[in-house]
Amino acid sequence: MANSKPSDPERERRRQTARSKLKSTVASAYGKFKVEEPPPHDGDGMHDQGTPDDGEAVPPPLPPLPFVDMSGWDSVAPPARQWFIVDHIPSRQVTLVSGVGGIGKSVLTLQLLASTVLRREWVGDLFPKPGAAIYLGAEDEQDEIHRRFAAILEHYDARFADLVAGGFRALAFAGKDAVLAEFDRNGRIKVTDLFRSLHAEAVKLQPSAIVIDTVSDVFLGDEIKRDQVRQFGSLMRRLAIDATAAVIIASHPSMSGEKSGTGLSGSTQWHNTVRARAYFHRPKSDDDDNDDDDRQPDDGRRELEFKKNQYGRLAKRVELCWSDGLWLPPAALGKAERKTEAERKAEDLFLRLLQRFDDEGRNVCATKGGSFAPAVFANEPEAKRARISNKAFAAAMSRLFEAKRLRVVTEGPPSRRRSRLAKVAPSTNGVQQPANNPPAASSSLATPSPLYPLPVVEGGRGLAGNAPPPSTTDPKRGPGGEGLAGVLSAWSAAIGFNQPRTVAQVIDEGDRKLKLGLLTVAAMENGPEIIDPMRLEHWLREVSDVEVDHLMLRNDGDDEKGAPRWTLTLRVEPDQGSPSL
């Protein structure tokens, strides 16, 4: 009897048995091995989230994304932006302030924190949000911070007790480990205990500003790697948000960043990460195309240039000048101090240009003409960049003569004498010598003129043959002669040569130096800071025609109203002839 074909249920049972044996064989050959049946399909493209037959738990569901709820925004006004300095430095954000080493940014940031705590103006009409402040300085020791703050507090007429009471906290980490963040081998940021302590103190204090000086001391990463710079920026942003403060980080630019004027170093991510950025540098005109070899000496001027403002237009540059240990806008300096600074700048540039001309074999002179030093120097590129005029150079030349730092040297045979301007070298054994002067071949070819402050010739040339003989009266000791030399020198710079003036005109046109000189000879008895016109008139009559170093005042008749006029003249030695033009 032929075997009957198995029924369908029997055939299915055999298949299941064979499948089970196959699974056991595979499991014994490969160790632990499990073939999971696919989860039941619910028909919508997703699998059920139940527990598998073997009892293993599935991962918990993902939390929902925290989408911003804007449903009520139509009924409320947007909150005002929080600023540390309005339109310049935002609060709850990170700001980068860069500058080359030694430029003065540490003092500038200390001034910022002092003005924050003391509720004062910072620089250039910039007023920070009042409040506490934290300074983390990794470059200077405690004594240096003490010295710098002493000058700042003197300016603000405040005390260290005022800083402490206002919530100022300083950390001096020079020579110590000031690292706030480092990175592991995978490039992930790791915060240090110092950051945790700083963060905890900042959250507790809630300061208006936190200054970190400088980034190279606290960032132990690669400034060129964008991901590391971004992570560090996010860490500083976390500090700013949690402390509700402006975090201001000082940095140094690279050589290319200094040369290009960007003030950056490393990756451009530094610029992109922060919300505001400023560059503290010397004015472009003084950098001489950023060539270190040709750079002009530091004249104490700086510019604070804002390079980024995420929330508005870039602010104007703030011009600053070094004054008594801190940076101040020129408008904040006293009138006399501003003038003194401008005078020193003109004198320094005058001497530098004179030295360069001398090295090039180009002579200039102290009298008007084609080689008149002030006019020639005013046309040089350095003078144009520094905005020093012919008149400013002329006044500087007069002051340099008075200070015995310039002299006139006459050269050539008696029939063809020539005069040139020369620097006076530092004194040696009490005798001053002209700087960079070649030795004279003979006394008849090079005869140095006496040291005296030549006047600036404004209205004509000196008198040669018709001048009266030199006075035998000592002008500093004779009647009415006290202070005459100073008045003559100041008169030449302020009014000029061969320019008739009445007493009223002299008082009105005189500059600060001339007026100080006149006060020494004609001050009112009951007002020592006021010039007495009658006493000045009497003094001028007494010293009329008295010569000091070839200079003298002479009466030049009366004006249309009958007021006497006075003129400053120069006597030139007849045997030397008039100076060459």
Tell me how crowded residue 126 is: count the other CB atoms within 10 A of its CB.
Answer: 18
Q: Domain 83-333, what fold?
A: Rossmann fold (3.40.50)
**Which of 271, 230, 267 has its CA nearest to residue 97?**
271
Task: Identify the pLDDT of residue 182.
Answer: 93
DSSP string, 205-228: H--SEEEEE-HHHHEES-TT-HHH
CA atoms within 13 A on the CB side of 6: 8
Task: Identify the pLDDT of residue 526.
Answer: 61
CA–CA dist 397, 427 (Å, integer):
19
DSSP string, 378-433: HTSHHHHHHT--HHHHHHHHHHHHHTT-EEEEEES-TTS-EEEEEEBPPPBTTB--
Per the structure block, which two tokens stand in for 477?
């000791």
Report the greatest alpha carbon distance in the chain. 168
CA–CA dist 111, 154 (Å, integer):
12
Q: Look up residue 109 and give its DSSP letter.
A: H
CA–CA dist 246, 475 (Å, integer):
65
Give the pLDDT means over successive 10-residue stretches in the chain (581 positions).
Answer: 59 79 69 52 48 67 93 92 93 95 93 95 90 95 93 90 94 94 92 96 96 93 91 95 96 87 85 92 63 60 91 84 87 61 85 90 87 92 89 90 84 78 63 41 35 33 35 40 74 83 86 82 70 84 81 85 84 43 30
CA atoms within 13 A on the CB side of 233: 22
Task: Identify the pLDDT of residue 88.
Answer: 92
Task: Identify the pLDDT of residue 233.
Answer: 93
Tell me how crowded residue 69 is: count the other CB atoms within 10 A of its CB.
Answer: 7
State residue 489 phi and psi, 5-degree precision. Answer: -65, -45
DSSP string, 163-203: HHHTTEEEEE-TTS----EEE-TTS-EEE-HHHHHHHHHHH
CA–CA dist 245, 398 (Å, integer):
54
CA–CA dist 265, 223 (Å, integer):
8
Task: Measure the CA angle with vertex 143, ends 216 and 253; round to 5°.
Answer: 25
Domain extents in the chain:
83-333, 339-448, 484-570
Task: Identify the pLDDT of residue 405.
Answer: 87
